Amino acid sequence: MVNEYKRIVLLKGLTLISDHHFHLFKSLLANDLKLERNRQEKYIRVEIADMMEDEFPDDAGLSHLIKFCESLPALRKRAEILKTERSKVIEETPLEMNSQEAGPATPTSTTSHMLASQRGETSTAQAETSTAQKRKSMSKEETGVKKTKASNEPDQPPCSEEPTATCQNQKSQPQNLNISRGAVLKMQPLTVMVLKASDTFEYESPEQGVQNMFHATVATVNQHFHVKVFNIDLKEKFTKNNFIIISNYFESKGILEIGKESSVKEAAPAEKIEVPNSIIRKANVSPKICDIRKGAAGAVFYGLFTLHKIKVNPKNTIYEIKDGSGSMEVVGNGKWYNIHCKEGDNFRLFCFHLKTINGQPKLVCGDHSFIKTRRRGIVPKEPAKEEGHQQGPKQVMVLKVTEPFTYDTKEDKKMFHATVATETEFFRVKVFDTALISKFIPRKIIAISDYFGYNGFLEIYSASCVSDVNVKSTMVVSNTLRQRANATPKISHLFSQAKGTFVNGEFVVVKKTKRNKFIYYGIEDDTGKMEVVVYGRLTNIRCEPGNKLRLVCFELTTTEDRWQLRSVRHSCMQVI
C-alpha cells in the first residue's frame, strides 16, 4: 500500500505543482529528509518522493504533502484531490486483507498495485479489473462492488488465434490509447533540442477517464515540432535547451505524440545537435490570425494572442483574440468554459482545431487543448530564473552594474554583477570576463548568448557571449519594472522566502560583532531585523553602525532559529 501512496505523492502531487511550490515544499521538509543545503535546489521530484517513502513509511509522506497544499490557497484544490485519492486506498484496505487470507493462489491487491506502479495508470486499471474477476468467491456485496468497477473498464474486441495487426497493437501498446487516430508509429530514434514545455494539466480521456499530459516544442537541425507528452514522468527531461533522443513515438498532422511506451533518453555529448537560430525563432513565432482563417478545416494551431473580448454563453464561452492582421473567435467549453481571464490578457493556445461554424472559421478546443493566460502589464516582483545552458540570443537592457572585484584572491579571479531586463522581466547576471564591463553600460541594449542559468543568476563566462545590437533597436522597459529590479526587499518579506534564496539590497547597519574569523552585522528596516554574516575578503571592508550596506548575492539561511544573510564566494559588499 505504501507503493500506492507513493504513486499518489509523485503522480498526483509533486509532478503537478509548480516549481515555486516545489521549492517551498523542499525547504519545509529539508530537515526531515536531511537534504544537503548546497544541493537543495538540485533535488528533483522523483528523488524527493524516494526520500519521503523512506522517511515516512506509513504513507510515503502523503499526509505532509496534503497539509502543505492545504496551507496555500493556490493548492487547496490539489489537497482535495490528494485526499480523495488517499480515501480510495483506505477503502481498498479490507479487500486487500481478505485477498491475503485467501491463500497463495489468489494474487494480492498489494502485488497488483506494485505492478501497476511499474506499468502506469492504465495497467493499474487492468490489474484492478483482473483482481475483481478473481474474487467471485467473496461476499455478494463485495462482488457487486468489483463488478461495478470491472464494468467501467473499456471493452476490448476479442482477438483471433492468429492476431491481426490491430490486436497485436492492443496487446503490445495498451498505454497508447491516448494517441490520435491515424497516427503513424515512428520507431527510428530522433535527436531533438527542447525549446519549451507547458505545465502539466488534466484532460478527459474517453477510454481511461481523467489523465495528465503536457505540451512541448522541440527542434531538429532543420525543423521544429509541437509535441504531446502523455507520460508526465518525462517532465524533467523536457527542460529548455535539453537534448533528448525519442523513439517509438507517433506522428499525427505534423505533431509528435509520446505515449507511455515511447522511449525518451538524454543525449550524450557526442549526440547533441546544432539547432540554427532561425529554426528557434520560427518555433517561437505565433501564426497571424489572417493566415489561420485561411487554414484547412481540422488543422491544429498553437500561438500567443491578445484576448480582445469575452462572451459567456450557457454552453460555451467565446474568446475573441486579436492581432495586427485581424480577429477571430475561440470556442471554449468543458474545462475551458469561462476560465479566469480578462480582456487584454496574453492568451496562449495549445492544440486548438480550426472549424467552420455558421460560415465562419473558428478555433475550437479538443481533448488535448490547453490555455495559459497571463495578465498583460503585470510587473514581476522577483527576478526571472533560467536553468542550464541557454543558446539565446536574448536582447536585454542593462539597468545596473557593480564595479569589477576579486572574488578569489588566491587565483586572482575577478567578476562583476549586473541587473538586466527585457520589456517584461528582469534578471540577475554574473559576468566572469571583466573586459565586458565596457558593454554593460546602463540603458544600453545588448544581446547575450551561450550563457548559463544557475541558482537564480545568468552566468556569462566569455566576451563572445555578449554582442552589440543595431543602434536603432529600441526596448521599452517600464519605470515600474526598473523600480522592481532595483528595489531592496523588506526584511519581513525575506522571512517568507525559501532558504538558499539570493538577496540584493541596501540596509542600515545597527550593530557590529566580531567572532573568530567572522563579522556579524545587525541590519534593520521598518519591518524587522536580521543578521548579516561575512567572512574572508569581505571582513576587510570597513563598516560601522550607522552606515548603509549595499549587498549583492548574499544567501538567505538560518542558524539556531535565526535568519541570516550570509556571504558566499561571489558576494559583493559596498559601504554607501
What CATH number did the domain enclosing 31 receive?
1.10.533.10
Q: What is the distance between the alpha carbons of residues 346 and 288, in angstroms, rounded to a whole number?
A: 15
Instruction: Tell me the one-letter amino acid at 569.
Output: R
- Secondary structure, 3-state, 369-389: EEEEEECCCCCCCCCCCCCEE
Q: Do 441 and 531 belong to one domain?
A: no
Q: What is the distance between the alpha carbons of residues 270 and 283, in angstroms, rounded to a whole number?
A: 25
**Does residue 159 form part of some domain?**
no
**Does residue 168 form part of some domain?**
no
Which residues pair with residue 520 across a beta bridge? 513, 533
Q: Do 355 and 463 belong to one domain?
A: no
**Does residue 163 form part of some domain?**
no
Q: Do 300 and 355 belong to one domain?
A: yes
Q: Do 534 and 502 belong to one domain?
A: yes
DSSP class of 34: T
With cell 490570425, the residue in question is 289
**Does residue 395 form part of some domain?**
yes
Residue scoring higher pLDDT (38 or 272): 272
Q: What is the distance between the alpha carbons of residues 56 and 263, in angstroms, rounded to a whole number?
A: 32
Q: What is the distance between the alpha carbons of residues 568 and 502, in angstroms, rounded to a whole number?
A: 10
**Does residue 265 form part of some domain?**
yes
* pLDDT band, very low/low/confident/very high, at 576 (cuts 50, 70, 90): confident
Burial class (CB in 10 A: 0-12, 13-18, 19+), 63: middle
Helix (H, G, I), strand (E, B) or coil at 37: helix
**Average pLDDT score, the chain:** 81
Domain boundary residue, one of 483, 510, 528: 483
Domain boundary residue, one of 434, 462, 483: 483
Let me know how long the chain is: 576
Which residues pair with residue 46 across a beta bridge? none
**Does residue 140 form part of some domain?**
no
Domain boundary residue, one of 483, 506, 532: 483
Q: Do 393 and 511 belong to one domain?
A: no
**Residues 473, 393: contact at Cβ < 8 Å?**
no
What's the mean pLDDT in 543-571? 91
Q: What is the distance between the alpha carbons of residues 319 and 323, in angstroms, rounded to a whole number?
A: 13
What CATH number did the domain enclosing 252 receive?
2.40.50.140
- What is the domain extent for residue 310? 290-374
**Does residue 122 form part of some domain?**
yes
User: Given this model, what pLDDT does residue 242 score?
Assistant: 92
pLDDT tens across 488-542, in order? Answer: 999 988 888 888 899 999 999 999 999 989 999 999 998 889 999 999 999 999 9
Q: Do 479 and 498 belong to one domain?
A: no
Supply the pTM of this predicted model: 0.43
Number of domains forming the structure of the chain: 5
Q: Do 354 and 322 belong to one domain?
A: yes
**Does residue 542 form part of some domain?**
yes
The mean-pLDDT minimum among 18-32, 189-203, 265-279, 534-548 falls in 18-32
pLDDT tens across 119-174, in order? Answer: 333 444 443 444 444 343 343 334 343 333 333 333 333 333 333 333 334 333 33
Instruction: Tell me the one-letter amino acid at 371.
Output: I
